[in-house]
Structure 1
């Protein structure tokens, strides 16, 4: 589930390292709250182990560009597996945090889902949605859909240095979805989503993703 929000440039600028430019779409700055389940995660040449390789995750990201290469920058990343959070942070430098996340499919067909995310006392995300159709809408993607979902690198800051990771995946399969309820008491760096509704919502059944090539910039 992608929840996309338009936000003021000055709000995002102070949260993104100076070495990265904010990537805008027709003058608008976007952030996205993305809730999903990771499955069969493993380093290259190693097999996956379900205790570490499957977990729920929520990340809050914005869109940046450097050297004419657009990518994403994570403002926060949280997952519900303590060991996986530790290993991911150690291996990648991305700042994973452990939090409780639950996800419930409310009927056998899998068309209704409740994705509940809890951050004690400070954040909460509760999303209930219905899939309008399971058919793909690849031929109906707008330029904005592509801008927000087709990103093939990510940037991260460690200490005083910037790094870039390459990403590969097939284009996201986007399917029609309708929000039934949404409570996003979620904030990062003074930017709060509590009183606003998303400007755009996407749902996808998922894609296989490869990440490699940590490059110091």
Structure 2
């Protein structure tokens, strides 16, 4: 049975080339950092949850909401062919979501005031902590499946998640079709990374991303977690 099913829509992904040493403290046990052409990436990802269900049940007032996360890419040491993600922190506007996700998946969710706009060619997501943060983009390119072997494919094609539990690492499968996407040239990232994700990521305040992508999204499902 699926733990969660939803639509993930209108994804903005800002991808930063970083030193592996920055991410090492956050690598779940039994996994290793997954690099693309020798480079390590961390991604700021903003998108909409829609039509959300837990174990097939729609939860009132929790079917549609924003999420913004900071993630990077790993693979299990016992099967390096698996492409997976792990999260530094995930932001949502609903308080019950961190309660569920942090307990079942040992993720690092937090609830903050959030807002968004999804127009045909313009998308933005915002959240409020010690400062006002906003990630926006204008879409002016045709959408297409990313070329095989491209950075776009590497960033968007991950179908497993890993998180560090109190004693063991948890793993879960994320299923969705391949996403059509495009590179974005017209974007603005006004984010206090230190306030949002910790002092280890303060350097991203002044570092431009390697690239920014838009993905239209799709239906997704997330399995119940199991131990690695």
TM-score band w.r.t. shorter chain: 0.7 to 0.9
TM-score, normalised on structure 1?
0.88
1:124-152: CA deviation from partner (whole Å, max 9, x where unpaired) = 5312221103x322164652111111001
Aligned mate of 2:30, from 7, 19, 23: 19
Unaligned stretches of 5+ residues in structure 2: 1-11
Structure 1 segment 1-150 matched on structure 2, within 5 A: 1-46=12-57, 48-66=58-76, 67=78, 68=80, 69-105=82-118, 110-121=120-131, 124-133=132-141, 135-138=142-145, 140=147, 143-150=150-157
How many residues are treated as equivalent by the alignment? 210
Q: Which gives a bigger RCO, structure 1 or 2 (Cα 8 Å, sep 6+)?
A: 2
Please name the residue that 1:211 is paired with.
222
C-alpha contact 1:137 1:176 (8 A) present in aligned 2: no
Shift of 1:61: 0.4
**Equivalent position SS for 1:39:** strand
**Preserved contact between residue 173 and residue 207 of structure 1 (Cα < 8 Å):** no
Distance 2:111 2:41 in 1: 25
Q: Could you list the per-position Cα deviations for residues 156-195 of structure 1 after superposition, in whole angstroms to 9, with x for gaps in the alignment?
A: 1111210110111001120353334221221334122101
Alpha-carbon offset, residue 114 of structure 1: 2.9
Alignment partner, residue 200 of structure 1:
211
Aligned to 2:83, the other structure's residue is in SS state strand
**Please, which runs of 5 or more residues in structure 1 have no aligned partner?**
none
